[in-house]
Amino acid sequence: MDVFHEEPGIGERIARLRRRRKLTQEGLAERAGLCTDTVRKLEQGVRRTARPATLNALARALDVEPSALVGQPATFEVRSEGDQPSVLALRQAVSPVADLLGDESDPEDPPGIAALRASLRATESIRRDGRMAEIGVLLPQLIQDAKATARTTTGSEAAAAHSVLAEAYQVAATTLTALGKEDAAFTALERSMAAAAKGDDPHLETVGHSSLAWVLTKQGRLADAEHVAMTAAERTEPGFRSPPVELALWGILLLRAATAAVRLERRDTVRELLSMAGAAAARIGTDRLDYATPFGPTNVGVAQVNFQVEMAESAQALRTARSVPELHALPPTWRARFHVDRALALADLNKDDGALQALLTAERAAPEWMRYHSTSRRLVADLRGRERRRTSPLLDLADRLRLDG
């Protein structure tokens, strides 16, 4: 008979870390700026989910990254056939020992620029679909190939290879962050910025700052994340005649800053940044996809729903969600996150059946991404704890997300 062991929940993790820090529930609540009842209910399992602002406050008080509380998957799923994805291989590609020893050898015939760009485009497409295991297989080789081409060429070819390398490192950073490896992600971004400085694409530095703000947010370094995003936005603020790509990158930076601000519970700042991003989206007039990140009226609407959910404005979030235009224009992972936000709002209003339907819609958009997404997993665990039926589509969803074992 197979024996399944349920994953420790947020409450168990909080209690274990609190005891390690020699804090009482009252002491942790005071340090986090929360009421003791919130800590008590989380530890007792009465509440199985918490707003990101609450999780960040607890993580700061316990001196850990937020990912230590939410229990996101720490490695790639095992594939049944073909090459296996490996966190270790990705770490080795980002931080090879050979770089320190100076003895790295290059392949006799490194790929040309066209081949590198094609590999990068394929990797970014896979990333937008949320197919994490495939990223884990392809990305280490892409980084190695781009480094080799950059080292063995000169002039415009070397600059183009460095640009590909910079973007590959950024994909590595977001992938490692999704696996709770935020420090390794920071290293990848440092290398991305160094490669971008040698590249031929002037926008890559801005993209790097956007990715850095996101990684810092995931680390719980919210003030740093907001500062990075706002500093980059001020440096790149577009003018009246700026091309759409510059408006889009500026708008993305504003949304990154707003994501940090909402978790710092600075609502007025969030609304101001969202208004500015909305104005940029309106000037563009349509949805764009630059450097694997969407921006336009649809993404601003999706961001607004997300911020309203995080600010516990659930009813308003659902009203906003009904007015988001052209949702089909977004990549699968963005659509899935939108439906997860709808599910969070519905669950907060005790509309569990609606929340389940929203989660199933999200799963249809990006099934593999759902298995790595900590918020989705927490919500499904919470709904499962409230489920009284012995058989339910919710229990089947929990099995597909592999919440046990």
Divide the 405 residues of the chain into consecutive groups of 10 and give the mean pLDDT of each group. 50 91 93 92 81 87 86 74 84 88 71 94 92 92 94 95 97 92 94 96 96 94 97 92 95 98 95 97 95 95 97 97 92 97 96 96 96 90 83 90 72
The CA radius of gyration of the chain, in Å to the nearest whole number, is 21
pLDDT of 6 reads 46
Q: Are 274 and 267 in contact (CB under 8 A)?
A: no
* Separation of alpha carbons 228 and 341, rounded Å: 26
Going from N- to C-terminal start, the domains of the chain cover 6-71, 331-405
pLDDT of 404 reads 64
**Residue showing tokens 């992600």:** 185
pLDDT of 7 reads 54
Q: How far is CA 62 from the centre of its chain?
A: 22
> In this structure, are strands 293-295 and 288-290 parallel, antiparallel, or unpaired?
antiparallel
Torsion on CA atoms 156, 160, 161, 162, rounded to nearest 10:
100
- Enclosing H/E stretch for 313: none
Residue 6 DSSP symbol: B
pLDDT of 77 reads 79
* Separation of alpha carbons 27 and 14, rounded Å: 13
* Separation of alpha carbons 116 and 160, rounded Å: 9
pLDDT of 378 reads 87
pLDDT of 168 reads 96
pLDDT of 4 reads 33
Hey, is 367 helix, strand or coil? helix
Q: What is the pTM of this model?
A: 0.87
Tens of pLDDT, residues 326-361: 899 899 999 999 999 999 999 999 999 999 999 999
Tens of pLDDT, residues 233-268: 999 999 878 999 999 999 999 999 999 999 999 999
Number of helices and strands (H, E) in the chain? Answer: 22, 2
CATH topology of domain 6-71: 434 Repressor (Amino-terminal Domain) (1.10.260)
